[in-house]
Amino acid sequence: MDLGLKDRVVLVTGGAKGIGEAITRSFAAEGAIPVIIGRNRVEAADLVAEIMSDGYRAVAEHAEMTDLPALEAVVAKVLESQGRIDIVVNNAAMNDGVDLTAGPDAFRASLERNLVHVYALVHYCLSALKESRGSIINIGSKVAETGQGGTSGYAASKGGLNGLTREWAVDLGRFGIRVNAVIPAEVMTPMYQRWIQTLPNPEATLAQITSTIPFERRFTTAQEIADTVVFAASPRSSHTTGQILYVDGGYTHLDRAATVRDLG
């Protein structure tokens, strides 16, 4: 299926690794021009080189997401070099473990790391998105729905992201801009692998988590997240807006009984 993304310019924050890398690769494979925005120059440059060696296109732009002037400058640079912005994928985030004991300053910093830059980037891209009648995809988390414990800042940020998704769908629909969110639950990424190894019994913990995912008792792949993102952002999804799309094997919303019984 041709998704109609050829030559579309796509900003992907945190687009050099994990879920972001899969999203970047998928847009490139559809003939779009993904622009990786992130702080790790080496990872981004390596990914761009690999994508281009496969005959596709990609660009890397350096910015720390909490440095809003740098973020605004990246948007200006992309508009100068590419002439347009069609899609914004707000993927960059960090489950930073800022809990209720951390205090207001830490909580505020967590919102800066995980939510404020999302608003800022879309604000800076707004004129370009209106011109292209573009699309916004926010990458959320199950934590906004389920809670997790010990991560007030991240949970508040992801809950806010869902709220912004629907608020912006209302605000921007009259300009032809669609806004949706894609929600992962348990996805095996390098960051997740590092986290699981910090636990006392990582193999047993991983097996226990896997057993609670209803559909096929397996983790969602980064590619499965990316496939949904690319389709939802594309003209093939032209009447879908304001939606919170859960790509999680039923983890978030199916009855808890489904997470403990043997489905066979």
Non-local (6+) Cβ contacts of 57 within 8 A are 28, 32, 33, 34, 51
Write down the residue that tokens 């779009």 correspond to.
32
Q: How far is CA 111 from CA 99, 107, 119, 215, in A?
A: 12, 6, 11, 32
Q: How far is CA 65 from CA 7, 28, 90, 121, in A?
A: 25, 23, 11, 9
Q: How far apart are CA 53 and CA 55, in angstroms?
A: 5
* Other CB atoms within 10 Å distance of the CB of residue 163: 13
How many CA atoms within 13 Å lie on the side-chain side of 17?
17
Largest Cα separation within the chain, whole Å, is 56
Among the listed residues 56, 124, 154, 251, the single catalytic one is 154
Contact 180, 242 (CB under 8 A): yes
Cβ atoms of 89 and 12 closer than 8 Å: yes
Q: Is 154 a catalytic residue?
A: yes
Picking from 16, 78, 23, 88, the residue whose alpha carbon sits closest to that of residue 50 is 16
The two structure tokens encoding residue 228: 């949904």
**What is the C-alpha separation between 12 and 91, in angstroms, rounded?**
7
Residues annotated as part of the active site: 154
